[in-house]
């Protein structure tokens, strides 16, 4: 977390804490036809209620929010999180411990619903969900993401470049076969966006065990679904203080794990972007 982010994070967290619980958890009379789906890890449970509160506080609420946790956490929830459970926000328990949980179980439970994934260590601005949905109305068959990177290859050898050299997409409202949706910003998946194989846990744990974004990119590419950068990706979510001590940054970025896993996916499925 950058030093300049600490004060905005502190202020946003303080605002979230003082929002009325009953008002947050009250279902909307005009919700967006969306299920927001996410997962978390033990080290983030103490701050997770702030993320959930930010999703409950959206300018237009979703139909439902589902948090998928491992069974081992059933009796470890802080009151700040468990007290938010309601008709709108539900916690479900599963066997898997990987980040792919945030989407694959909801694909099975809500196959006809628009699904939106988000991360568990951020506070989302009030129009975050409504902005994703606005682009969905214009492009109902596309995956819409507030954050995208372009998967890049060397212009001479054709080899996949390190993940650090995959540029962040800045232009809004565009799509490209090389775009990969980044879960950080929130990603909208329309029904049928991924091939049925997307829920194959044995395969994704073999090919991309620490890179759910890459796995879902492969599954959307095989389905022929476009990934589109949202036309209004700002303002960005605010990182929560102390929530990013345990992340996949070291493995996937600094040690170039993303490149290894994307190569494994391309080799297995015969994916060619270049």
Q: Please give the model's pTM, rounded to 2 decimal places.
A: 0.95
Burial (CB < 10 A; 0-12, 13-18, 19+), residue 217, is: buried
CA distance 46 to 155: 46
Report the top-level CATH class of 31-269: alpha beta
pLDDT, average across residues 111-132: 98
- Could you read off the pLDDT of 259-272 as tens digits, one per residue? 999 999 999 999 99
Average pLDDT value for residue range 51-79: 97
User: How far is 126 from 187, CA to CA, in rounded Å?
Assistant: 16
179-193 average pLDDT score: 97
pLDDT of res. 21: 97
**Long-range pairs for 253-257 at CB < 8 Å and ≥24 separation?**
253/163, 253/164, 256/162, 256/163, 256/164, 257/210, 257/211
E strand segments, the chain:
32-39, 62-70, 89-94, 114-117, 122-123, 143-145, 148-150, 179-181, 187-189, 227-229, 238-239
pLDDT, position 242: 82
- Helical packing angle, 101-109 and 212-223, nearest 10°: 40
Say whether 13 sits in a helix, a strand or coil. Answer: helix
- The confidence score (pLDDT) of residue 99 equals 95
Q: Are the C-beta atoms of residues 240 and 50 closer than 8 Å to each other? A: yes
pLDDT digits (tens, 9 = 90+) for 205-235: 999 999 999 999 999 999 999 999 999 999 9
């Amino acid at each position: 977390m950058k030093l300049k982010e600490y004060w905005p994070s502190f202020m946003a967290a303080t605002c979230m804490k003082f929002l009325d619980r009953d008002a947050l958890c009250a279902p909307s009379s005009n919700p967006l036809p969306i299920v927001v789906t996410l997962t978390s890890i033990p080290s983030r449970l103490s701050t997770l209620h702030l993320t959930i509160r930010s999703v409950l506080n959206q300018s237009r609420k979703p139909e439902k929010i589902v948090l998928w946790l491992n069974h081992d956490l059933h009796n470890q929830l802080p009151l700040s999180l468990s007290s938010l459970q309601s008709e709108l926000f539900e916690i479900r328990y599963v066997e898997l411990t990987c980040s792919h949980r945030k989407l694959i179980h909801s694909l099975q439970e809500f196959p006809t619903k628009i699904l939106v994934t988000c991360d568990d260590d951020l506070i989302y601005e009030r129009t975050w969900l409504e902005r994703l949905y606005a682009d969905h109305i214009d492009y109902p068959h596309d995956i819409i993401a507030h954050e995208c990177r372009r998967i890049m290859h060397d212009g001479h050898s054709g080899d996949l470049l390190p993940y650090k050299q995959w540029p962040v997409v800045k232009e809004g409202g565009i799509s490209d076969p090389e775009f990969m949706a980044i879960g950080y910003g929130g990603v909208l998946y329309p029904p049928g966006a991924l091939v049925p194989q997307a829920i194959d846990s044995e395969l994704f744990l073999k090919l991309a065990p620490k890179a759910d974004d890459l796995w879902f990119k492969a599954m959307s590419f095989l389905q022929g679904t476009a990934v589109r950068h949202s036309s209004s990706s700002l303002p960005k979510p605010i990182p929560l203080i102390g929530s990013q001590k345990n992340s996949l940054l070291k493995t996937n970025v600094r040690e170039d794990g993303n490149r290894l896993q994307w190569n494994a996916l391309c080799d297995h499925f015969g994916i060619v972007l270049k």
